[in-house]
């Protein structure tokens, strides 16, 4: 009887414990006393590990290392806990386009003419992204050389705090059923796993629309052995020559607080500096510290520590293209929940209910602000007319998008200046490889089929043709690339002309080229890179779950190596 009773109540009990734990962690997070402004940091300090970047990977990494070592986290941005309502679901667009000095978003435009953004906040990209949570596929895990059991445990460790099953309502259900109707099968229900077919994935937004970021994972940390400083901008990593090893060794960092005062942090014996500054920040910081292509560093008057021409190479951003679908009926406010994982390398996703009339004027103004002093673009009056033409608050509906897996096309990153606050120059070379373009076209055709499906019919104006939806996107300044007349009838040209980012850029510090399989920077000692800059392809439909997992995973491996002398 007791066993039978346990079988009946266990699912309810387990669910209750899960939500209680997540609630408990999220409630603790704003009160973590070890998160402080950098101006309160000592001028000189010493730690076992110095983590540069308190982002999606840096937070779980630091929390894990703190269990058995002293850890310093240096984050250039602010804390999401100062105003948590500003990052909730209904503030997604506002947060992403916020250009104030204290914002969590730093805009940049790639040389390809695509508007992009990088995070500057404790919690990294999980503070400003669309919240979709989905693991990497089993094949990705194996090819990365990760221990599958430890990776599974690391994912679960993350999910106890930040991942939730979303409430799927009408728009997302229509996209889900449309994907099934057009053959993106099988239907796999709700799953964190990356498996072919249609599924509902996880979200870092809870049922109240509150965002749970990687910063929440710091609740796992040992508060007596971790220091987290925000508004701490690392200027460079310090190196000294080690005669025994006949190579340079990292031994400390110089960082600046928000008042402009410099601080120095040194490593203790057996310590390491770990770069977790993201796909833009990590290769940039290596170069600023003297590791990169020698001629490029000399041009910026940077002393060369190690001539490493592969730093900044292999940059990639998954190309994304969308169709905007105005709806004749009200739609819920939703970000990514449903995904169609096709067998040809395209992922189909959707969002709804965001006020397109408000977001586009803000986006347009941001484009103008960035390019007005750099190019001979349109006049201020022309931009104002464009902005006013899209300031229609009544435009409601959603978007259905496709993301090209991989991708195969890659580019590079270079320094623009030697100021760590400035964005570097980034080139992604969208659709340089023909296979990426073929995948985009197939993905757009699938989107068109979904829009034409019976399941989606109530969210479609009957007199609004697919051609009208294509023309609508072509009329929007989604990027700074030239538009061609053929894009109206050629999906190939449409993909090229209207390509956007989905903020899944990666590369610049590839495994086997810049770091080894243990994420140690090759050619120097006491320095690793652990973040998405090491990825040669974006994991699954969204990388954030895997980036967080990697922080936890490598934290455990590093501690094993340190205390048990086991090669990770």
252 is in an annotated binding site: no
Residue 28 confidence (pLDDT) above 70: no
Read off the pLDDT of each residue in 3-8 and give the average, rounded to a whole number.
35
Residue 16: per-residue pLDDT: 36
Total residues belonging to the chain: 568
Top pLDDT among 86 and 301 is at: 301
* Other CB atoms within 10 A of residue 137 CB: 18
Determine contact, residues 430/409, Cβ cutoff 8 Å.
Answer: yes
157 is in an annotated binding site: no
56 is in an annotated binding site: yes
Which residues have CB under 8 Å from 358's CB, separation 6+? 93, 391, 393
Top pLDDT among 533 and 565 is at: 533
Residue 379 confidence (pLDDT) above 70: no
Read off the pLDDT of each residue in 400-408 and give the average, rounded to a whole number.
98
Three-class DSSP labels, 187-211 = EEEECCCCCCEEEECEECECCCCCE
Residue 258 confidence (pLDDT) above 70: yes
Buried b (16+ CB within 10 A) or exposed e, 333-355: bbbbbbbbbbeebbbbbbbbbbb
Residue 317: per-residue pLDDT: 98
Residue 152: per-residue pLDDT: 98
Distance CA(312)–CA(318), nearest Å, equals 17
In order, the DSSP letters of 41-96 are S-SEEEEEEEEE--STTHHHHHHHHTTTS-EEEEESSB-TTSSGGGGSGGGHHHHH
Distances (CA, A) of 35 to 66, 230, 345, 404, 437: 14, 7, 41, 38, 45
Residue 506 confidence (pLDDT) above 80: yes
Read off the pLDDT of each residue in 286-292 and give the average, rounded to a whole number.
98
Residue 285 confidence (pLDDT) above 60: yes
76 is in an annotated binding site: yes
Tokens of 380: 């201020």
481 is in an annotated binding site: no
Residue 393 confidence (pLDDT) above 70: no
Residue 1: per-residue pLDDT: 38
326 is in an annotated binding site: no
Percent residues over pLDDT 70 in the chain: 87
Residue 495: per-residue pLDDT: 98
| Average pLDDT of the chain to the nearest whole number | 89
Residue 411: per-residue pLDDT: 98
Top pLDDT among 323 and 29 is at: 323
List strand residue ranges (DSSP E) for 432-539, in order: 524-525, 527-529
Active-site residue list? 504
With tokens 């819920």, the residue in question is 332
Residue 20 confidence (pLDDT) above 50: no
Read off the pLDDT of each residue in 502-520 and give the average, rounded to a whole number.
97
125 is in an annotated binding site: no
With tokens 């954030």, the residue in question is 544
Residue 54 confidence (pLDDT) above 50: yes
Tokens of 70: 């002293």
75 is in an annotated binding site: yes
Residue 543 confidence (pLDDT) above 90: yes
The string of pLDDT tens digits covering residues 464-490 is 899 999 999 998 889 999 999 999 999
Q: Determine whether 299 is exposed, middle or buried from the number of CB atoms within 10 Å of its CB (0-12, 13-18, 19+).
A: exposed
* Other CB atoms within 10 A of residue 537 CB: 18
Residue 566: per-residue pLDDT: 52
Residue 334: per-residue pLDDT: 94
Angle between helices 148-162 and 544-564 (to 10 degrees): 120
Top pLDDT among 278 and 18 is at: 278
Of 17, 61, 51, 38, give the one whose Cα is nearest residue 214. Answer: 61
Residue 355: per-residue pLDDT: 55
Residue 32 confidence (pLDDT) above 60: yes
Residue 366 confidence (pLDDT) above 90: no
Cross-strand bridge partners of residue 262: 256
Distance CA(304)–CA(318), nearest Å, equals 32
With tokens 């043709």, the residue in question is 465
Cross-strand bridge partners of residue 275: 52, 529
Residue 361 confidence (pLDDT) above 50: no
* Other CB atoms within 10 A of residue 305 CB: 24
360 is in an annotated binding site: no
Of 340, 96, 324, 321, give the one whose Cα is nearest residue 201. Answer: 340
Strands across the sheet containing 425-427 = 313-315, 411-414, 425-427
Determine contact, residues 369/97, Cβ cutoff 8 Å.
Answer: no
Percent residues over pLDDT 90 in the chain: 80
Residue 101: band (very low, low, confident or very high) from pLDDT cuts 50, 70, 90: confident
Residue 461 confidence (pLDDT) above 60: yes
Residue 149 confidence (pLDDT) above 70: yes
Residue 564: band (very low, low, confident or very high) from pLDDT cuts 50, 70, 90: confident
Under DSSP, is residue 418 helix (H, G, I), strand (E, B) or coil? coil
CA angle at residue 215 from 211 to 219, to 5 degrees?
A: 110
57 is in an annotated binding site: yes
Residue 30: per-residue pLDDT: 63
| Cis-peptide into 355, omega within 30 deg | no
The string of pLDDT tens digits covering residues 167-224 is 999 999 999 999 999 999 999 999 999 999 999 999 999 999 999 999 999 999 999 9
Determine contact, residues 427/312, Cβ cutoff 8 Å.
Answer: no
Residue 304: per-residue pLDDT: 98
């Amino acid at each position: 009887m007791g066993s039978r009773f346990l079988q009946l109540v266990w699912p309810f009990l387990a669910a209750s414990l899960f939500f209680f734990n997540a609630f408990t962690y999220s409630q603790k997070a704003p009160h973590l006393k070890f998160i402080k402004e950098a101006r309160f940091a000592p001028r000189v300090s010493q730690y076992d590990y110095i983590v540069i970047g308190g982002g999606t990977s840096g937070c779980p990494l630091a929390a894990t290392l703190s269990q058995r070592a002293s850890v310093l986290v240096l984050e250039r941005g602010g804390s999401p806990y100062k105003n948590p309502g500003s990052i909730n679901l209904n503030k997604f667009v506002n947060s992403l386009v916020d250009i104030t000095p204290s914002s969590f978003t730093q805009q940049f435009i790639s040389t390809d003419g695509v508007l992009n953004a990088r995070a500057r906040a404790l919690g990294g990209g999980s503070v400003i992204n669309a919240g979709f949570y989905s693991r990497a596929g089993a094949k990705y895990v194996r090819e990365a050389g990760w221990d599958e059991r430890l990776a599974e445990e690391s994912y679960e460790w993350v999910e106890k705090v930040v991942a939730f099953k979303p409430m799927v309502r009408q728009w997302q259900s229509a996209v889900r059923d449309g994907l099934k109707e057009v053959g993106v099968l099988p239907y796999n229900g709700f799953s964190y796993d990356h498996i072919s077919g249609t599924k509902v994935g996880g979200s870092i937004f809870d049922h109240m629309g509150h965002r749970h970021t990687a910063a929440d994972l710091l609740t796992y940390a040992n508060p007596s052995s971790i220091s987290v400083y925000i508004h701490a901008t690392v200027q460079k990593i310090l190196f000294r020559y080690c005669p025994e090893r006949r190579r340079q060794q990292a031994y400390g960092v110089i960082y600046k607080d928000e008042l402009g005062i410099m601080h120095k942090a040194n490593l203790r014996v057996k310590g390491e500096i770990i770069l977790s500054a993201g796909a833009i920040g990590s290769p940039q910081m290596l170069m600023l510290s003297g590791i990169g292509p020698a001629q490029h560093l000399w041009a910026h008057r940077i002393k060369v520590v190690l001539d490493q021409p592969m730093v900044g190479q292999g940059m990639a951003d998954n190309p994304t293209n969308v169709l905007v679908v105005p709806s004749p009926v009200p739609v819920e406010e939703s970000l990514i929940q449903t995904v169609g994982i096709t067998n040809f390398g395209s992922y189909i996703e959707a969002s709804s209910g965001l006020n397109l009339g408000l977001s586009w004027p803000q986006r347009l103004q941001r484009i103008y602000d960035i390019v007005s002093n750099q190019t001979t673009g349109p006049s201020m009056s022309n931009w104002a007319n464009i902005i006013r033409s899209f300031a229609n608050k009544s435009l409601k509906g959603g978007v259905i998008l496709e993301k090209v897996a991989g991708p195969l096309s890659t580019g590079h990153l270079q320094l623009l200046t030697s100021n760590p606050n400035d964005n570097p120059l980034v080139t992604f070379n969208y659709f340089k490889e023909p296979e990426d373009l073929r995948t985009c076209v197939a993905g757009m055709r699938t989107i068109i089929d979904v829009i034409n499906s019976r399941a989606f019919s109530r969210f479609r104006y009957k007199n609004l043709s697919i051609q009208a939806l294509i023309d609508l996107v072509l009329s929007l300044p989604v990027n700074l690339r030239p538009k061609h007349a053929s894009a109206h009838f050629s999906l190939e040209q449409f993909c090229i002309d209207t390509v956007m980012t989905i903020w899944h850029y990666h590369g610049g510090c590839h495994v086997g080229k810049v770091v080894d399989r243990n994420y140690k920077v090759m050619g120097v000692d006491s320095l690793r890179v652990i973040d998405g800059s090491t990825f040669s392809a974006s994991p699954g439909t969204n990388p954030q779950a895997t980036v967080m997992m990697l922080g936890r995973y490598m934290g455990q491996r590093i501690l094993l190596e340190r205390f048990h002398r086991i090669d990770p």
